[in-house]
Amino acid sequence: MQARGPLMIEHRLIEEMLNVIKRTLEHVEQAQAIDPYFVDTAVDFIRVYADRTHHGKEEDIMFRDLRKKQLSKEDRLLMDELIEDHIFSRATTRALVEANMRYREGNKAAFGEVAACLKTLVEFYPKHIKKEDDVFFPAARIYFSDIEDQAMLNEFWEFDRKMIHEKYKAIVKEFAEK
């Protein structure tokens, strides 16, 4: 498998989750009410899976190695754009968490903000995936030898191996400090 393999497999699960959110939005918009626990689960998926685990491998390993290469202007600009996309998704998720907190506390008007943030993510993220799958990943592959690509893949597996421990250590730490 090439290094981009696991990243593209992760894109498929992210797309599935986005479809779940999309279907949920269709239902809740009529009722003008949403289950805040569903939002918690969506946020956990976005933060731990899509951001920390998936963007983590992209930014901390693949983009790090690409910075050592002489990228074409076009590829460099696209990499910057992808990083901006990651930042935008983090900011939208933060706004979603805050709106969900207000909604949970009884502020019914916050429903609109929760739904708007979810809608933003559902509309924006597939475009980000498409840029990577169709344009950036194939372009990036050319800068790496087969050995470098396999080294990156091995680093991806090691990165993933640590994730579950990182997540639950963080949860215990959060409760222990309360």
For Fe ion, the binding residues (CB under 5 A) are 58, 132
Q: 78 or 114: whose CB is closer to Fe ion?
A: 78
- Least Å distance, CB 55 to Fe ion, is 5
- Least Å distance, CB 104 to Fe ion, is 30
Q: 58 or 65: whose CB is closer to Fe ion?
A: 58
- Least Å distance, CB 31 to Fe ion, is 33
Q: How far apart are CA 55 and CA 74, in angstroms?
A: 21
How many CB atoms lie under 10 A from the CB of residue 4?
22
Burial 80-105 (b: 16+ CB within 10 A, else e): eebeebbeebeebbeebbebbeebee
Q: 75 or 132: whose CB is closer to Fe ion?
A: 132
- Least Å distance, CB 102 to Fe ion, is 29
Q: 133 or 166: whose CB is closer to Fe ion?
A: 133
- Least Å distance, CB 125 to Fe ion, is 9
Residue type at 161? R
Q: How far apart are CA 64 and CA 43, in angstroms?
A: 26
Give the angle 168-174-175 at the CA atoms, nearest 5°: 95
Nearest to 113 by CA among 97, 90, 89: 97
Cβ pair 28, 115 in contact under 8 A: yes
Q: 132 or 149: whose CB is closer to Fe ion?
A: 132
